[in-house]
Amino acid sequence: MARFTKGQCQPCPDRPRCTSSRESARNVGFAPREMRELQVRVRAEQQTPDWKARYAVRSGVEGTINEFAHGHGMRHCRYRGQPKAHLQHVFTAIAVNIERLSGLPPTEETPSPRPPTACRGGAGSRSRSGPGARVCGSAPTFP
């Protein structure tokens, strides 16, 4: 740690580049040599494409965790016990996924409608009579 007194700092011509304080002096901390060398090496590694690709995955996950923690109150469980807490987490994840999907633009192609069933007027909806005939909405009967 290097400490400069007020008398040393006031007349210095580089004072505006060093500190914005008008009254106090500057304290400058220096890391040990090993720490500084490690810091320089890690910062150089952070500029490589491989590191940036790995960090991109991490930053995406951190955003999701932050959304859960701050946006949906997941720092505290509403229920006691691991099974109920797990269920709360699963339901919250489902809600977040639905929320994200609802924000997506609609797809270009429209989904094809379901084929009609016998109760909705499809090909097999001819009225039948007899013991095997079924009324729409009723449960099947077995002899």
Residue 84 lies in a domain: yes
Say if 50 falls within a structural domain: yes
Listed range (26-30, 53-57, 59-63, 90-94) with the worst mean pLDDT: 26-30
pLDDT of residue 140: 54
Q: Which of 70, 71, 51 is nearest to 59 (CA)?
A: 51
At 65, the pLDDT band (50, 70, 90 cuts) reads: confident
Domain-embedded: residue 113: no
Question: Are the C-beta atoms of residues 68 and 95 closer than 8 Å to each other?
Answer: no
Residue 65 is assigned to a structural domain of this protein: yes
Asked whether residue 110 is domain-assigned, the answer is: no
Would you give the distance in Å from CA 8 to the centre of its chain?
50
Examine residue 107 and state whether it is found in any structural domain, yes or no.
no
What pLDDT, on a 0 to 100 scale, did the predictor assign at position 132?
54
For residue 136, the model assigns a pLDDT of: 53
How many C-beta neighbours within 10 Å does residue 19 have? 16
pTM: predicted TM-score of the whole model, two decimal places: 0.41
Domain count, the chain: 1
Q: Residue ranges of the alpha helices (H) in 21-110? A: 33-45, 49-66, 82-102
Structural domain range at position 44 = 8-102
pLDDT over 90 (residue 95): no
Residue with tokens 């009967």: 141
Mind listing the pLDDT tens digit for each residue in 131-140? 555 555 555 5
78 has a pLDDT exceeding 90: no
Q: How many angstroms separate the CA atoms of 41 and 46, rounded?
A: 9
> Has residue 97 been placed in a domain?
yes
Q: What is the pLDDT of residues 36-46, one digit of tens each?
A: 999 999 999 99
Whether 143 is in a domain gets the answer: no
